[in-house]
Amino acid sequence: MTEAATTSPALPDLSAYTLHRTVAAANLDGAAVPRLSAEFLHRPVGERTASIGRYRYGDAYVLLAWGWTDEEHCSFSSVLGGDGAWSAPQPGCPQFSLLRAGDEVTGVQLHDGTGGVVECRDGVVSRQRPDCR
């Protein structure tokens, strides 16, 4: 394996992007998640546009997902851990599990790619590491 194949890309530099739009009631794959909001930032790169979705649950940032506006899916995603650091970027769209009470979506669990989980439910963000079960 080459070094490029074993290392994650760096997180995008948000200061290089400008705010494109804000969504007060964001959804994940078409499902509205209570208290989840998002900012979408853009940056021109040649003839393409790079895009970042920065998601908050209440007042807490919890998720970054980024890629290109002309592609259907995210290139990478990262979850904010309990230590205040973003997880290593994971390829593709964020991995998550919707939390439900019957048919109603009540929250979301965001998976960081290493077994860590950020759970957003009932107005509370809790972060769990795989070694804390």
Is 4 contained in some domain? no
Give the per-residue pLDDT at 1. Answer: 37
Give the per-residue pLDDT at 19. Answer: 98
Is 31 contained in some domain? yes
Residue span of the structural domain in which 43 resides: 12-132
| Residue keyed to tokens 């530099």 | 13
Is 42 contained in some domain? yes
Using an 8 Å Cβ cutoff, are 11 and 89 in contact? Answer: yes
**What is the pTM (predicted TM-score) of this model?**
0.88
Give the per-residue pLDDT at 133. Answer: 46
Is 7 contained in some domain? no
Pairing status of strand 18-23 against strand 124-128: unpaired
Is 5 contained in some domain? no
| Residue keyed to tokens 């964020």 | 94
Look at the chain and report how many structural domains it folds into.
1
Listed as ranges, residues in the chain with pLDDT below 50 are 1-5, 133
Give the per-residue pLDDT at 29. Answer: 84
Is 3 contained in some domain? no
Is 114 contained in some domain? yes
Give 11-20's long-range contacts (Cβ < 8 A, gap of 24+).
Answer: 11/64, 11/78, 11/86, 11/89, 12/50, 12/52, 12/64, 12/66, 14/41, 14/52, 14/54, 16/43, 17/41, 17/42, 17/43, 17/50, 17/52, 18/42, 18/43, 20/51
How high does pLDDT run on average in the chain? 90
Is 80 contained in some domain? yes
Give the per-residue pLDDT at 3. Answer: 43
